[in-house]
Structure 1
Amino acid sequence: LKPKSEWVSAHSKDELADKIKAAIEKQIPNMEIEFTQPIEMRFNELISGSRSDVAIKVFGEDLDILAKKAHEIEKAIRNVEGASDIIIEKTEGLPQMFVQYDRSKIARYGLNIADLNEMIALGFAGKVVGNVFEGEKRFDMVIRLNQTNRTDIEDLRNLYVATPNGEQIPLRELANIEYTEGPAKISRDNTNRRIVVGINVRNRDLQSVVDDVKKIINSKIDLPPGYRVTYGGQFENLESAKARLLIAVPIALFLIFIMLHFAFGSIKEAMMVYTAIPLSAVGGVLFLWLRDLPFSISAGVGFIALFGIAVLNGIVLIEHFKELKHSGKFTDMNELILKGTTDRLRPVLLTAAAAALGFLPMAISSGAGAEVQRPLATVVIGGLITATLLTLIVLPILFKIYDEKEEKKLKFKNIKLTTHIIILFFGTAFSYGQEKNTELDSLVSNALNNNASIKSGQLQVDKAKAATKLAYDFSKTNVYYSYDQNNLAVNNLPLKVFGAQQSFSFPTVYGSQRKVYNAEYEKEQAGFEIQKNKLTNEISKVYYEIVYLNHQEKLYRYLDSLYQNFSKASNRRFELGETNYLEKITAEAKFRQIRTKLSQINKAKLAQLELLQSLVQLDKKIAVTLTELQPINNLSINSSKNLYYNYLETFTKKYKANESLQKQNWLPDINLEYFKGKNTGLSQSLYGFQVGLAVPILFNGNIAKSKVAKLESQAWEQQKKNEETKIDAYINQKNNEIIQFQQAIDYYNQYGKKVSDEIIKVANNSYKQGEIDFFQYILSLENATTIQVEYLDAVIQYNKTQLDLQYINF
């Protein structure tokens, strides 16, 4: 064929085949024509035994009935759209010479059928009668009739046969010989006879053609009992591939969901992203319909690839929504969604466009293999377009719906009173009544369960508890055998002695050892409680630092909006000539200064959140929602003070127990031995035992150890007094600091807040009436802001000092 670009009468291969077939049938009527390709034909034949796209197999026993039904089927489906090149397998019409013997005549002449068969085979096929040698080569000698005497049925009829009495009679006197038609071939599948009606499909998909053919055969073809119809060819491969897809697609969908769950750690978020799959399927089906392409195996594979690609946009969007939510910058969910969607619009569109453009050449291809490439690429491109557009609409809606449900659930679980006080401009209400902070309590609880250092401390406590059983650790038992010729029995023969020996410390030593191990266990327990106390203090400090930064951010955001409006107004007034350039640049500078401060606060908050994450050690990100900083009061220091005193007391117990144990070393060790001896001359064994005491005669070492233990105990008592004095001094210092910060807080509550509000009120009215200029107005705002910021600084320092005092961060 010429290149497709040079075709003038057809636009596709199927159209060209139809026109060639019409031209040939016009010249040669009733000719069976089949269009195929060599490789495709061979594969079809290997798969199902037929060279056609669809093989209608009719099974039965009688070849005549099979041929008849095959022609009925061919006639019935001739007008099915897309069914071209209908070919019936040739199973009959093979010309053959048929010899029917007359057995009575054969018997009359004294012949037999075997001799006649041999004569016919010899005349036409030949028979080996000997060998011919040429040197070392050997050849069979075959004789048969001459070429001119074996070309026609008359040659067979006139073949003379010798009778036993020497007569020669022609074969036509012994048999009826004529031309007949026999089976061209007998085909079988699984030992069952069958005939095939082959169909090549053009200008239509394979499945719909087979569906129409099935309807026609089921309604119009009446098969005798024992006869049946099956369908093979490429359609058989399609059916098996569809069966595999019914398994592969659910597995692929399940694995995608599992991967999403692993990525997010949440079934809710995985389900939200999973919605991209049905959204993408809509586009895949729609584009197949628009391009008039059938659903094929390549389209099914395209859907599997599409499902994996479509969820990428959802992952990008949901992750950014979560980041914005955890940042704490947005209190309005609508604002958060708009910001997140705007930020991720370009990445989402570029991700989908990159994948779609990659498949575009396959979608518009028209060369070899295009029938496989086009459905796959069309599905992916169409699915990505609809999935991307719908994801940007549906996913934010689902995120908001799930978030609202979560908030309602949390409100239902945590029933508590909340008061919302709105004060003009900087107004913020602070009170000394402190409610129980469930958010902080939850963080502390999670940290005590998840923090690795706490787990390590618990293991140290468990180790010390297990070590208490070492107090009753005995030395190894000595089992021995001895033979000494000097050790003679009453029969003057040496004894063979077997024995066991065990040494023990004095019984009271084990009690003293247990006291030492118990004291070590109590020390580890007390130290572990202090470790948890310190972790709680660190988490509380970081938490209130984040609340402090949240409150500061709230304050400066108001200033940011205020100065931004002033900056715009100054620019406008400068353009109108109502003010000078100095006012314009001053407003701009103050606006930039506030923006810089906000950025610094945000960075500091992120650092504190990372520190809090490292302390709590949760898998999910932590967010602090409290935005108003209040002084914390009514804290008790007695529990933490008792913790430290108990911890110091455990050291005293340990040193005392160790001193008592060293005194026990003066007591003797006890040795027990049991043995028996025997030799060949004794009728029974000789038994014996031995008890001994190990007395510390060389006692200089014991004296030194006892003295060291006593001095350690005395030294610790002095150190203990010093530590208790330092604790008391630390408490007094923190109390003084609390009084200092309390004075600053009292000043704000009594005077500072009123002054700040009054300054803002008067400055606003004066500036509007033109009594003060822009610089005086800015100075007034800065004075009011300084009062507010100093108050926040005093509150955070007050809270940190209260925490240090409560948990005695010593």
Structure 2
Amino acid sequence: GWAILAGMLLVPQKIIHERVNPISWVLQRLYHPFFVAAMKLRYVTLTVAVLLVLSTIPPLIGLKATPLVGPWLAERFPALARALPGLGREFMPPLDEGDLLYMPTTDPAISVTKARQLLQQTDRLIKTFPEVHHVFGKIGRAETATDPAPLSMVETTIMLEPDRTRWRKRRVERWFSSLPEGLKKYTGLTYFWPEVRPITVEELSYGWTAPDGTNVPGLDDVVAFPGVTNAWTMPIKTRIDMLSTGIKTPVGIKIMGDNLATLGGLAERIAAEVRTLPGTLSAYPEKTVGGKYVEFDINRDEIARYGLRVMDVQDVILTALGGMNITQTVEGLERYPVNLRYKRELRDNLPALRRTLVPTPAGAQVPLTQLAEVRIVEGPPMIRSENSRKTAWIFVDLTTTDVVGWIDRAKALLAERVEIPAGYNLVWSGQYEYIQEATSRLKFIIPLTAVVIVLLLYLHSRSWFRTVVVLLAVPFSLVGAVWILWLLDYHLSLAVFIGMIALAGLDAETGMVMLLYLDNSYERFKAAGRMNSIGELWDAIHDGAVMRIRPKTMTVATTFIGLVPLLWAEGTGADTMRRLAAPMIGGLTTSFIMELLIYPVIFMVAKQFELRRLQRVAAT
């Protein structure tokens, strides 16, 4: 093996000219008729190229939003309008962490016993799914001052079966499903697009519809309890989101104002409206009121008759109900507080609380009911504030990943149906905050990067014409990038933008090399005195273009070999890699074709005017 490698690298090899290289010869033969057709129909070719670039507008922003002809086409061809709704927008594609986090929310007045029963019931139901390996549930807050979780918030970590081959299978309708089985098998279609595959995490969560129309329930259907609003997410993602925005769902609506009752009413109305939007799985408004509290209204006149102070009564209430640390015990190296309080049966109901005895300075024991009114009142279970204003939150879980599109529709709906009082305002949170922050940065970075690239190209070529021609590779590549995103039903995200930026750099590089080959061939013919007619200009352009066919094909082929397998990748991070690779694959396909055909045409149109000008000067 080493001898063969050394022979290939160290022994001088004879360089085979492009004209006798068998691979180049085949590629040139295939390229020649297309080159001739494009050059003969130069202006038709340029018109088609412009139309192809413009064809990216309907799939990008939607047919209805397309200027000029979009509304007319959408009205006459509604099926086409439904097929071209525009690419959605999201911050990042969903990351499959391998586990699920179930975070339902229920009434804040729920008791500890009922909350524990709810947690146990949901855990048992979730464990019945064969895809679930283990279930760990927690309700309420942990034993730490940094966990503000109320008793109404459940967190259930669902560890999924790591071996996806053990998951249930489902049949998927493909575009070739009606073909004969033998044809599908021998063409390899079922290898790349299997008709039977394991279910996805999304299908496990929300269920799916079989080809025969049967609805197969998911986790969300099984744990649908009255008064419980479900939310399904990923453990790590949720922790990051809650630390940065406080919102555990993809979208959060924060209502800011002064009055808690008004905030609660607004939250209820807004949640009811957004539930009607397509793509909404659940919308849960946090209760600003509804918490149950035991209130002790001390009668100052009565306690004065017994010679008591308010502090005396409060100390009894504190000791009897909340408990008071009176000392601590040392067990080896560990210290434990000794807490004094009444037994549970003496403090778990109002009659027992009213019978609590309060000692007087005279040594008598007076029932608490003679000194204070004991009653249960409603109040805020939790008071949230942001920017020094009281806030009510609405948690919205979606069945779509097009977060920006959903928020745009929600804003239009709320502006029409919900009147926001003066002094109150809405703030959209969750992933939307990430998208807004990333968009504001990209609005600055992308133009700056474009200016730097243009300056570098100009400094290299010393010609604005060459710079513009090289930059034409970018819109050529966007044709394939946008259409493959539409075909794969991918949304615009940071991963997609990174793929497009890499694509633009690669296409600008290949476009510069293509222009270099054309320039070298032109200058070589001109130096040899063979630039006296349009026919000789044609020969020079053809010679430069065919010399570029093999390097261009090798560039595209090697990129394809490296990127195409990512489209069928599975596992953690595969969704992100697919969205990064897809625009590069689609863009390289169209730029490969258009650069080989459009660049020679543009070069021909520009140089023939220059040639005619030189001929007129020579004639005079």
Counterpart for residue 203 of structure 2: 15
- Closer, same or farther in 2 for the Cα pair 1:101/1:411, shift >3 Å? farther
Measured against aligned partners, the alpha-carbon deviations of 1:103-137 in whole angstroms (never above 9, x if no partner) come to 33334444332221122112223345578899999
Distance in 2, matches of 1:416 and 1:281, equals: 43
- Conserved in 2, the CA contact under 8 Å of 1:35 and 1:85? no
Please say if residues 245 and 300 of structure 1, whose CA atoms lie closer than 8 Å, have aligned partners that are also in contact: no
How do 1:138-153 and structure 2 match up within 5 A? 143-153=340-350
Q: 1:348 to 1:232 in 2, by over 3 A?
A: same
Whole-angstrom CA distance in 1 between matches of 2:223 and 2:319: 45
Contact 2:255 2:425 in 1 (8 A): yes
Asked whether 1:213 is paired with 2:410, we answer: yes
Please tell me the residue identity of whatever aligns with 2:470: V
Deviation by residue 1:755-801 (Cα, 9 ceiling, x = unmatched): xxxxxxxxxxxxxxxxxxxxxxxxxxxxxxxxxxxxxxxxxxxxxxx
TM-score by length of 1: 0.48
Of structures 1 and 2, the one scoring higher in RCO (CA 8 A, sep 6+) is 2
Change (3 A) 1:303 1:141: closer
Shift of residue 32, structure 1, vs aligned partner: 1.7
For 2:25, the equivalent position in structure 1 comes to none
Query: In the aligned structure 2, how far is the partner of 1:356 from the partner of 1:92?
Result: 59
Conserved? CA contact 1:55–1:198, under 8 Å: yes
Equivalences for residues 566-581 of structure 1 within 5 A: none
Q: Which residue of 2 aligns with 1:235?
A: 432
| CA-CA distance at 1:300 after TM superposition | 1.3
Amino acid at match of 1:153: L
Q: Which residue of 2 aligns with 1:352?
A: 556
Matches of residues 536-615 of structure 1 in structure 2 within 5 Å? Answer: none
Query: Are the structure 2 counterparts of residues 64 and 268 from structure 1 closer, same or farther at C-alpha, using a change threshold of 3 Å?
Result: same
Contact 2:518 2:544 in 1 (8 A): yes
Q: Deviation digits for residues 214-234 of structure 1, max 9, x if unmatched?
A: 222222222222111111112
The residue that corresponds to 2:590 in the other structure is 386
The structural deviation recorded for 1:402 is 2.3
Amino acid paired to 1:389: I
Partner of residue 370, structure 2: 173
* Bigger Cα displacement from structure 2, 231-240 vs 397-406: 397-406
**Secondary structure, aligned partner of 1:374:** helix
Secondary structure at the residue paired with 1:58?
strand
Decide which structure has greater helix share.
1
Cα distance change, pair 264–132 in 1 and its aligned pair in 2 (3 A): closer
1: CA distance, partners of 2:337 / 2:470: 82
Q: Which residue of 2 aligns with 1:121?
A: 318
Cα distance, 1:164 vs. partner? 4.4
Match of 2:382, SS? coil
Q: Which whole-Å deviations, capped at 9, do the CAs of 1:337-391 have from their partners, x for residues lacking one?
A: 2222222122212212322332212233343223322222111111111112111
Q: Do the aligned residues in 2 keep the contact of 1:316 with 1:348 (CA within 8 Å)?
A: no
Q: 1:320 to 1:122 in 2, by over 3 A?
A: same
Structure 2 spans left out of the alignment, 5+ residues: 1-130, 132-160, 171-197, 208-217
- Mapped partners of 2:239, 2:287: distance in 1: 18
Cα distance in 2 for residues equivalent to 1:98 and 1:387: 74
Residue 255 of structure 1 corresponds to which residue in structure 2? Answer: 452
Distance 1:140 1:200 in 2: 43
Name the SS of the counterpart of 2:169 in structure 1.
coil
**Are residue 369 (structure 1) and residue 573 (structure 2) matched?**
yes
- Counterpart amino acid of 1:385? T
Amino acid aligned to 1:308: G
Deviation of residue 76 (structure 1)? 0.9
CA contact (8 A) 2:522 2:541 kept: no
Q: Any conservation in 2 of the 1:98–1:179 contact (CA below 8 Å)?
A: yes
Offset, 1:151: 3.2
Residue 495 of structure 2 is matched in structure 1 by: 298
Please name the residue that 1:183 is paired with. 380
1:705-761 Cα offsets, whole Å, 9 max, x none, are xxxxxxxxxxxxxxxxxxxxxxxxxxxxxxxxxxxxxxxxxxxxxxxxxxxxxxxxx
Deviations 1:138-164 (A, max 9, x none): 987654434543333223211122344
Alignment partners' CA distance in 2, 1:135 and 1:319? 83
Residue in 1 aligned with 2:99? none
Residues paired across the two proteins, number: 415
Give the secondary-structure state (helix, strand or coil) at the position aligned to 1:31: coil
1:3-402 to structure 2, matched below 5 A, reads 3-5=163-165, 6-9=167-170, 11-19=199-207, 20-25=218-223, 28-127=225-324, 143-328=340-525, 329=528, 330-331=530-531, 332-402=536-606
Query: Helix, strand or coil: the match of 1:106?
Result: helix
How far apart are 1:42 and its partner, in Å? 0.5
SS in 1 for 2:233: coil
Whether contact under 8 Å (1:256, 1:308) holds in the other structure is no
Cα 1:223–1:106, aligned 2, differ >3 Å: closer, same or farther? farther
Cα contact 2:220–2:230 (8 A) shared by 1: no
Task: Flag the 1:118–1:94 CA change in 2: closer, same or farther, 3 A.
Answer: same
Distance 2:560 2:450 in 1: 21
Gap change, CA 1:112 and 1:218, over 3 Å in 2: same
Counterparts of 2:510 and 2:370, CA distance in 1:
92
Contact 1:111-1:164 at 8 Å conserved across structures: yes
Residue 228 of structure 2 aligns with an amino acid whose one-letter code is M
User: What is the distance in 1 between the residues matched to 2:206 and 2:614?
Assistant: 70
Amino acid at match of 1:333: L
Secondary structure of 1:111's counterpart equals coil
Amino acid at match of 2:494: I
Give the share of equivalent positions with the same residue, in percent. Answer: 28
Indicate whether 1:406 and 2:610 are aligned.
Answer: yes
Check whether the contact 2:360–2:366 (CA below 8 A) recurs between aligned residues: yes
RMSD of the alignment, in Å?
A: 2.8
CA distance in 2, matches of 1:23, 1:138: 48
Deviation at 1:48, TM superposition (A): 0.5
Contact 2:520 2:544 in 1 (8 A): no
CA distance in 2, matches of 1:156, 1:316: 88
Q: Write out per-residue CA displacement over residues 151-185 of structure 1, whole angstroms, 9 at most, x where no aligned residue.
A: 33223211122344544321111221122233221
Q: Is the 1:34–1:87 Cα contact (8 Å) retained in structure 2?
A: no
CA contact (8 A) 1:101 1:175 kept: yes
Q: Which has the larger radius of gyration?
A: 1
Change (3 A) 1:4 1:82: farther
TM-score normalised by length of structure 2: 0.62
Between the aligned partners of 2:337 and 2:570, the Cα distance in structure 1 is 60
> Matches of residues 307-706 of structure 1 in structure 2 within 5 Å?
307-328=504-525, 329=528, 330-331=530-531, 332-407=536-611, 415=617, 417=619
